[in-house]
């Protein structure tokens, strides 16, 4: 019987080679320390508010240089030390074999019971996900470079053709479902082939996106229509950043009129505290806040039925956001103050109280015509 042919492996890229070198360097450093009979330790940059600052010139959140030591001979740190190397070994295996897995699958790849004990290396994915981020920061390699991805989230339709890993896709021919945004949107995987759009409209909610898509808003206004389906995943943020920088398209964002909607917008604009080390490739400082604005209630004579009373948590969050350096501009202070003055919040879906297609035919077109947005 003929021997089975070994499965072919994708050719290692220069990026793969560099990432492997970083992982091996990390392991070799720990090994040398052990051979000297000393305490091996990892130096990890702190991903906390105390180590984050807002770069006024670049208008993005940046991670500082403060580090914390993760030592093996320390009962409070030994578990995370071991977990970091387990994940690093798992990523090395993926790169060696030319394969990718989800961050959920990496949890299972690295989970096992320690021999002679009843203790598991990981109990839950909430343990492994932060370790992956620690590894990214420690060896300065992105999750995508470690051959890891998250479940995709977000949809796109509109006047753009892309090449996704060799397949050319016309985003004007996506029907009602749209094109699902991949977790990995780097230029070696995703390329822009043809663009006929004049701007990008990014909406928070999938239901709002469906209304706009069914009304073919993107066709009438020559745009790209995207939904992040809530807080934007890394793939969506990276795609927006690339479209803004490579296609030179303005981006308008439509979110609910509440502190959480403002936060979704702010993460797209200047990044997040937790992923401050990725702001340079994800943040879009020029992104424009189209709405919903706290002033829209009167501008569009919305009915009282759209009002949702602000909770104590909403009020506290709004006050907190007023103190953020990226919201210190007078126009943003007025926007947040109006929200608090109103005493209520509004969902984008509430525009349906005017008419089913009010958002498509009147609300957004008027906002764009009047240049009624914030930056």
Per-residue pLDDT of the chain (375 residues; tens, 9 = 90+): 444 444 455 567 888 999 999 999 999 999 999 999 999 999 988 888 888 888 888 989 988 989 888 999 999 999 999 999 999 999 999 999 999 999 999 999 999 998 999 999 999 999 999 999 999 999 988 888 999 988 889 999 999 999 998 999 999 999 999 999 998 888 888 999 999 999 999 999 999 999 999 999 999 999 999 999 999 999 999 999 999 999 999 999 999 999 999 999 999 999 988 888 888 888 999 999 999 999 999 999 999 999 999 999 999 999 999 988 889 999 999 999 999 999 999 999 999 999 999 999 999 999 999 999 998
- Report how far residue 326's alpha carbon sits from residue 46's, in angstroms, rounded to the nearest whole number: 22
- Report how far residue 62's alpha carbon sits from residue 43's, in angstroms, rounded to the nearest whole number: 18
- Report how far residue 270's alpha carbon sits from residue 257's, in angstroms, rounded to the nearest whole number: 19
Residues annotated as catalytic (active site), given as ranges: 108
SS3 content of the chain, % helix, strand, coil (to 5): 45, 20, 35
- Report how far residue 126's alpha carbon sits from residue 59's, in angstroms, rounded to the nearest whole number: 31
What is the signed CA dihedral for 221, 286, 187, 48, rounded to 10 degrees? -130
Residues in the chain: 375
Q: Can you give the pLDDT at residue 1?
A: 42
Read off φ and ψ for residue 45, nearest 5 degrees: -65, 135
Residue 7 burial (C-beta neighbours within 10 Å; 0-12, 13-18, 19+): exposed
Q: Can you give the pLDDT at residue 206?
A: 95
Give the residue carrying structure tokens 């239901």.
207
Instruction: Determine whether the annotation assigns residue 256 to a binding site.
Output: yes
**What is the pTM (predicted TM-score) of this model?**
0.86
């Amino acid at each position: 019987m003929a021997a089975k042919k070994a499965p072919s492996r994708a050719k290692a890229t220069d990026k793969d080679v560099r990432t492997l070198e970083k992982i091996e360097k990390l392991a070799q450093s720990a090994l040398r320390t052990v051979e000297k009979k000393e305490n091996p330790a990892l130096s990890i940059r702190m991903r906390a508010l105390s180590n984050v600052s807002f770069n006024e010139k670049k208008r993005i959140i940046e991670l500082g240089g403060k580090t914390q030591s993760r030592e093996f001979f320390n009962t409070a740190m030994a578990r995370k030390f071991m977990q970091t190397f387990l994940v690093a070994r798992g990523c090395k295996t993926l790169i060696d074999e030319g394969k990718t897995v989800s961050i959920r699958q990496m949890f299972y790849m690295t989970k096992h019971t320690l021999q002679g004990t009843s203790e598991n290396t990981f109990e839950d994915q909430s343990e492994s996900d932060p370790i992956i981020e620690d590894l990214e920061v420690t060896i300065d390699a992105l999750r995508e470079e470690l051959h890891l991805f998250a479940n995709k989230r977000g949809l796109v339709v509109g006047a753009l053709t892309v090449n996704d890993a060799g397949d050319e896709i016309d985003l004007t021919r996506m029907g009602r479902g749209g094109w699902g945004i991949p977790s990995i949107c780097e230029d070696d995987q995703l390329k822009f082939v043809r663009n006929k759009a004049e701007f990008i409209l990014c909406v928070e909610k999938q239901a709002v996106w469906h209304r706009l898509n069914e009304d073919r808003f993107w066709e009438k206004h020559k745009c790209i229509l995207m939904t992040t389906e809530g807080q934007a995943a890394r793939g969506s943020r990276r795609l927006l950043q690339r479209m803004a920088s490579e296609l030179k398209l303005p981006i308008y964002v439509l979110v609910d009129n509440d502190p959480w909607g403002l936060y979704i917008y702010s993460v797209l604009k200047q990044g997040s505290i937790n992923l401050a080390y990725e702001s340079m490739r994800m943040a879009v400082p020029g992104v424009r806040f189209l709405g919903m604005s706290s002033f829209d209630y009167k501008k569009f004579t919305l009915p009282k039925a759209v009002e949702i009373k602000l909770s104590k948590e909403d009020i506290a969050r709004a006050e907190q956001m007023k103190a953020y350096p990226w919201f210190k501009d007078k126009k943003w202070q007025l926007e947040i103050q109006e929200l608090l003055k109103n005493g209520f919040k509004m969902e984008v879906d509430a525009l349906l109280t005017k008419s089913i297609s009010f958002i498509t035919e009147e609300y957004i077109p008027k906002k764009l015509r009047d240049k009624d947005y914030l930056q």
